[in-house]
Amino acid sequence: MTTTNLRWPTALSSLLLTGALACGQAPADAVSVDEAPPAAASEAPPDTLPELGPTELRVTFLGTGAPRPSLLRFGPTTLVEAGDRRILVDPSWGLTQRLMQAGSFELLTSIDHVLLTHLHYDHTIGLPELWLGGWLFGRPGPLRIQGPVGTQAMMHAFEQAYRWDIDYRLLVGVPGGGQVMAAEDVAPGVVFDEGGLRVTAFQVAHMPIDLATRQLLEFDGQTLGFRIDYAGRSLVLSGDTRGDSSAVIEQARGVDVLVHEVQVPSPGATEEAKLANVSLSVHAEPAAVARVFQQAQPRMAVYSHIIPPDITADDLVAATPYDGSMTVAHDLMMITIGDQIVVSDRPRAEGTTFEGSSVLR
């Protein structure tokens, strides 16, 4: 059987975090966080993805950016792995390219569960490609999609939009089954609980407000964050939210890892800067996120969904008055949550063709 060729792009080392951690834009070093003595540096990096322990959660940031196009940060997509389960949160632009780097066709076709925090295009635009591309290249069964009110309607619209494509491929012999979408609108509460993996949805503050009064505007819909628990490990993804979302603090208090979005105001008074800053009313500035981190006190705080995408990690850390363990995610960064919290780069899949993969075996 042919296996995917994976390698680490640069050398790996293990260090003990002893204060606020600021990862740069693309470091490949691994950093572990716990109460134990520092681990010795590895003599040689692994050339494959390390096996996930039976009580570990793994988070891979497939994209850490925002709607603004960027070659550094693709759209905000997060992959969560626990046991034999893989859950993709918010399929955004550039998703399949990052999946090819992170695990090639085996990874693309193994994802059968998607969570949507809300229905903005930068959180959903990669879904048709994951759905249809995953089916075309070997996903055998339905793609399960759970999201806020409106998710089922959006998926129905996708099915209508791509009906010609689906019928064509079925007619010429692409196996059926994987083209099915099982969409579900979910309410706050436990939305998935199988095999020890539990997903809890909670409502966050990302609905539009009146800039003058700060009052909510009438607008149908819902915006969610997610808490994921597995074998005593815990992860909270804030989703898009202002910094005054008390639900994030409540769900993340004492959590292992809290991943939070952030927006830094654009300087100047140009029309472009003014337009960029319109979204400040529904996103969280660094000082506000610092208050969330301070109240929640996670083992590790993480920035992702970074606006603008070209802001540096050093600048974000400097703008965040928080003295706990903290890092800034970059695309294809990986966090393994266990007794230690290990931050590293995910091994890259290189040179794998579909014909040389093992997705159909």
pLDDT at position 30 is 55
Beta partners for 193?
198
Q: Report helix, strand or coil for 295.
A: helix
Burial of 333 (0-12, 13-18, 19+ CB in 10 A): buried
Q: What average pLDDT does the segment 303-310 reach?
A: 97
Q: Does 320 score more than 80 pLDDT?
A: yes
**336 HSE (CA, 13 A, CB side):** 20
- Name the pairing type of β-strands 333-337 and 326-328: unpaired
- Residue 26 pLDDT grade (very low, low, confident, very high; cuts 50, 70, 90): very low
Burial of 327 (0-12, 13-18, 19+ CB in 10 A): buried
Rounded Cα distance, 64 and 62, in Å: 7
56: Cβ contacts below 8 Å, ≥ 6 apart: 82, 231, 233, 336, 337, 338
- Name the pairing type of β-strands 143-147 and 113-115: parallel
pLDDT at position 179 is 97
Residues in the chain: 361
Q: Identify the helix (H) or strand (E) that includes residue 246.
A: helix 246-252
> What superfamily does domain 8-32+50-347 belong to in CATH?
Ribonuclease Z/Hydroxyacylglutathione hydrolase-like (3.60.15.10)
279: Cβ contacts below 8 Å, ≥ 6 apart: 263, 307
Q: Does 16 score more than 70 pLDDT?
A: no
Question: pLDDT tens digits for 339-356?
Answer: 999 999 999 987 689 999
pTM: 0.88
Rounded Cα distance, 208 and 210, in Å: 7
Q: Does 48 score more than 60 pLDDT?
A: yes
